[in-house]
A and B are shown apart, each in its own frame.
Chain A
Amino acid sequence: NAGVTQTPKFRVLKTGQSMTLLCAQDMNHEYMYWYRQDPGMGLRLIHYSVGEGTTAKGEVPDGYNVSRLKKQNFLLGLESAAPSQTSVYFCASSYSLRDNSPLHFGNGTRLTVT
């Protein structure tokens, strides 16, 4: 049972380059999320989705776009990377949006923007 899979695991970008992070879950979860983790900041929600074809903004959405074309996939895009986007990115999914439905996280993507 793979759970939540993120690709790639590592990436280095130059300022201004674009890239897409892929998240796939095999638990048939309706809800998916993208977080970033920075030192001294905890996990912060970038965007989330409440179902196929839907997306919504989280706490720190600027500079990112997302798409949920298929229920099992949630893509995070950086159109023009900036050094401030250097971070570890985590994708998560949950059965319900209610907070008593635990988040299942992927293993993260470490992104460095130079």
Chain B
Amino acid sequence: DQQVKQNSPSLSVQEGRISILNCDYTNSMFDYFLWYKKYPAEGPTFLISISSIKDKNEDGRFTVFLNKSAKHLSLHIVPSQPGDSAVYFCAASAHPGRPNPVNFGNEKLTFGTGTRLTIIP
């Protein structure tokens, strides 16, 4: 059962326009979400994250939006650049007992299947 779903395997966007990558989840206990970016023949690299206490987090051209009621998050890239062409994975984790700090999380990450973004020059 895929708890984190990226229903669009691929997406093509014109350079300079906005890229929107979507991710849906089914586990209502998920409370921390991340996006990783992966180039061919390389490992994924961390891009941006968001806690469930927020509905938006911005870092330069990248913004992640979280809609908890819809169990949906999205990554917006604006403006899109050719170097953004990559596979994007969303990931989520759940922490029973939040907001008390607990020293675990990464071993509970659930990844989506990825969306291949192609930026057309």
- Interface of A with B (CB < 8 Å)? 4, 31, 33, 40-45, 48, 56, 58, 90, 92, 94, 96-108
Question: Which candidate, B10-18, B63-71, B110-118, is the interface stretch facing chain A?
Answer: B110-118
A-facing mask of B76-93, CB < 8 A → 1, else 0? 000000000000010101
Q: Which residues of B contact A41 (CB under 8 A)?
A: 113
**Beta-carbon contact of B89 and A98 below 8 Å:** no
- B residues sitting closer than 8 Å to A (CB atoms) are 2, 4, 32, 34, 36, 41-46, 49, 51, 89, 91, 93, 95, 102-114
CB distance from A43 to the nearest CB of B (A): 4
Question: Given A98-B104, A107-B41, are A43 and B111 neighbors across the interface (CB < 8 Å)?
Answer: yes
- Are B89 and A43 in contact (CB-based, < 8 A)? yes
Whether the Cβ atoms of B114 and A103 lie closer than 8 Å is no
Q: A42-B4, A42-B89 are in contact. Are A97 and B44 (CB under 8 A)?
A: no
